[in-house]
Structure 1
Amino acid sequence: MSINRFRPEIWSANLLVALRQNLIYSAFINRDYEGEIAEAGDTVRITSIGRPTISNYVPNSTVIVPEQVNDSQRTLVVDQSKYFAFAVDDVDQRQAKGNVIPQAMDEAAFATANVIDLYLSSFYTSIQQSNQLGAITVNSSTTPTDAYDKVLVPLKIRLDKANVLSQSRSVAISPDLHGCLLRDNRFIKVNESGTSEGLRNGVVGRAAGFDILLSNQTPTTGSDSVVIAGNDRAITFAEQISKVEAYRPQSSFSDAVKGLWLYGAKVVRPDSLASALVTVS
């Protein structure tokens, strides 16, 4: 890559695409209030409108008095700012097969996605109490069906009782819990699951109304792994690459790229998430 041919707008767009492809917990976010983000510390005001009362109507009798709609305001603060910076020596660039800068940019996006996933998963502490299952032990060797029966189904029930839309529900689980599902005949036997994906490729796909997402970034509390389920109405998220620059460091013969990432999130529907603290034994 020549510095003269570097186009910040194109690289910023490519980085955002690569990052969003690698995010797992984006299943629980929306970008409704992303707007214009220019600097760390920018804020987005979110106004929520209360639900009106539904009343009976009697023709020629009912006098309709409109109620005053209540509203509340939350503030989404873009308080997360992260950067990356790397250099490729001219000798390495010359000897490498192909252009290594785009590969390094992809790696930067992947690493940033991991950081953002950790940030998004930390919002499990804002889930309303009635949607928290608490501690659950799953025995992967003797009763692998526990993963479905004791975790996924109860999470679905909690969301159902909270009137959470059934469309676009997802659940993020750890590799250990994912392995339990792959020991459950209901997901690997073709005659029971209707597909050979579980047996051949280790893919569960959907279960209990959820898209099953495998993550190495599931939060932990003690020995428990936090399983988060819900939909994209729960958290609003805003991000932007503020700057991407290519330059020639004075201290070496190399091409270097640095970038600044700005983002922030806010839980706007704590009832649209549910959680379980799972120990896989």
Structure 2
Amino acid sequence: MAFNKFKPEIWSALLLVALRKQLVYTAFCNRDYEGEIAEAGDTVRITSVGRPTIGNYVPGQTVISPETVADTQRTLVIDQSKFFAVQIDDVDKRQAKGGIMEQLKDEAGYALADVIDQYIASFFTSIQAANQLGSKTVSIATPTQAYDNVLVPLKVQLDKANVATQGRSVAITPDLHGVLLRDPRFIKVNESGTSEGLRNGMVGRAAGFDILITNNAPNTTGQEFAIIAGNDRAITFAEQINKTEAYRPQSSFSDAVKGLMLYGAKNVRPDSLASALVTVTA
């Protein structure tokens, strides 16, 4: 029997944890949905409510009548289906010192996270038009431009859109991060004096944002990349590692594991994100 100690339910749960540890763009996502994911093509429900009316209250005079707040329900289609399948030769397994399953879990989680991050990042095209700042150029020779020409305009646009300031993040490229490192207004994580918020890809804070570094920023053209900023109210994301199985391939003397990942996302609040198309020049 392949992998005598293999437990599908435990392995799936550990793989999901490893996956979530690697994701960066889920900083712009929530998992506020109802329903179960069993197969590709399934749908889950997203329910959101409107804002209540705020009125003046005069003691002894105001009669309060509760308001029925309108709610809307949308569906999220689980339209992404990805798999992995890896094998370990019996000879290699005997020569290994151990920890093979742990390594497989981590590597599979990293590979899936890389694909999912690219998928979520592609939603920059669904940001409302007013929050798309267009092309920006940042010169390495003028490091203040990253802060002044990119981060501050993104912050101002989110402020204008009434996006909550708490929990704001921005995902930037390594090149843009390199420019920010030379600006004293950028607070590096190791100099922040706190361990709070040390999460996936976070490298510091600036202009009210948690700064996240990623290699998955969408490449729009040439050396131009989409920089996304906002909070986790924008995109609803649902994922499920649907199946993991251990088996013995007939064509080799090896143990193998395969897994199926189902997921989908929907931008339910396009005004909660902002973007800039940034080119870093010499």
Equivalent position SS for 2:134:
strand
Q: Residue 4 of structure 1 aligns with which residue?
A: 4
Q: Residue 124 of structure 1 aligns with which residue?
A: 124
Using the size of structure 2 for normalisation, the TM-score is 0.88
Q: Partners of 2:30 and 2:68 in 1: how far apart?
A: 28
Shift in Å, 1:65: 7.4
Q: In the alignment, residue 130 of structure 1 is paired with which amino acid?
A: A
Q: Partners of 1:67 and 1:106 in 2: how far apart?
A: 50
Gaps of 5+ in 1: 196-202
Q: Partners of 1:62 and 1:229 in 2: how far apart?
A: 42
Equivalent position SS for 1:84:
strand
Q: Is the 8 A contact 2:27 2:232 kept in 1?
A: yes
Q: Residue 214 of structure 2 aligns with which residue?
A: 215
Q: Is the 8 A contact 1:118 1:219 kept in 2?
A: yes
**The 10-residue stretch of structure 1 (269-278 or 42-51) with the greater mean CA deviation from structure 2:** 42-51
Q: Residue 197 of structure 2 aligns with which residue?
A: none
Q: Partners of 1:47 and 1:182 in 2: how far apart?
A: 41
Q: Partners of 2:34 and 2:122 in 1: how far apart?
A: 20
Shift in Å, 1:220: 1.5
Q: Is the 8 A contact 1:93 1:99 kept in 2?
A: no
Gaps of 5+ in 2: 194-201
Bigger share in helix: 1
Q: Is the 8 A contact 1:225 1:278 kept in 2?
A: yes
Q: Residue 169 of structure 1 aligns with which residue?
A: 168
Shift in Å, 1:130: 1.3
Q: Residue 256 of structure 2 aligns with which residue?
A: 256
Equivalent position SS for 1:160:
helix
Q: In the alignment, residue 181 of structure 1 is paired with which amino acid?
A: L
Where in structure 2 are the equivalents of 1:35-74 lying within 5 Å?
A: 35-55=35-55, 69-74=69-74
Where in structure 2 are the equivalents of 1:121-270 lying within 5 Å?
A: 121-141=121-141, 143-187=142-186, 204-223=203-222, 224-270=224-270
Q: Does 1:80 align with 2:87?
A: no
Percent identical across equivalent pairs?
72
Q: Partners of 1:171 and 1:17 in 2: how far apart?
A: 23
Q: In the alignment, residue 278 of structure 1 is paired with which amino acid?
A: V
Shift in Å, 1:68: 6.0
**The 10-residue stretch of structure 1 (221-230 or 27-36) with the greater mean CA deviation from structure 2:** 27-36
- 162 and 188 in structure 1: CA distance in 2 versus 1, 3 angstrom threshold: closer
Q: Partners of 1:151 and 1:173 in 2: how far apart?
A: 10
CA RMSD of aligned residues (A): 2.3
Q: Does 1:110 align with 2:110?
A: yes
Using the size of structure 1 for normalisation, the TM-score is 0.88
- 194 and 218 in structure 1: CA distance in 2 versus 1, 3 angstrom threshold: closer
Q: Residue 90 of structure 2 aligns with which residue?
A: 90
CA displacement, residues 72-108 of structure 1 (integer Å, 9 cap, x when unaligned): 3321111111000011100111112323232122111
Q: Partners of 2:42 and 2:184 in 1: how far apart?
A: 50
Equivalent position SS for 2:4:
helix
- 215 and 4 in structure 1: CA distance in 2 versus 1, 3 angstrom threshold: same
Q: Is the 8 A contact 2:169 2:210 kept in 1?
A: yes
Q: In the alignment, residue 230 of structure 1 is paired with which amino acid?
A: G
Q: Partners of 1:206 and 1:58 in 2: how far apart?
A: 44
Q: In the alignment, residue 222 of structure 1 is paired with which amino acid?
A: T
Shift in Å, 1:188: 7.7
